[in-house]
Structure 1
């Protein structure tokens, strides 16, 4: 996982959840996120060029897990 990708994903989370800080081990849903906000995150990341499915987001709810899954999928493509 690259730092840029982690910062991109974290930045989207902060925008959607209206937070100042998001840490690698933070769980989106434990931070107060819900399924509609998760869909918003997925669409924002897609707009930024990240190939992500909604199911991927639910399978990897922490910032570290999601960023790593995106990186691994991009490497395999």
Structure 2
């Protein structure tokens, strides 16, 4: 995989997570650096987010990652490096 391939995959993952966060949290203005806690996230929405990520990517994502990496950009970085196989 080249650096360009990884960057493209990373961007796709961030875009996916932003869309999932926006839909789940009902916040249209949310972006890649929006904090899960600051936009009203709670344990129920964290489970909803991980469920949607699992459906989209086909990997089981621990809900604890949403709490540990609260922005879509941070979570995408972890998912790309540890979960998503290209």
Q: TM-score range by the shorter chain?
A: 0.7 to 0.9
The Cα shift of 1:24 comes to 2.1
Q: Structure 1: how far apart are the matches of 2:32 and 2:58?
A: 18
Shift of 1:75: 5.9
Runs of 4+ in 1 over 2 A off after TM superposition: none
After TM superposition, the score normalised by the length of structure 1 is 0.86
Work out which of the two has the higher radius of gyration on C-alpha atoms and give 1 or 2: 2
Q: RMSD of the TM alignment (CA)? A: 1.7
SS of the residue corresponding to residue 7 of structure 1 reads helix
Consecutive unaligned residues in structure 2, runs of 5 or more: 1-6
Are 1:34 and 2:42 counterparts?
yes
Query: How many matched pairs?
Result: 76
User: TM-score, normalised on structure 2?
Assistant: 0.78
Q: Per chain length, whose mean CA-contact separation is higher, i.e. which structure has more relative contact order (CA < 8 Å, sep 6+)?
A: 1
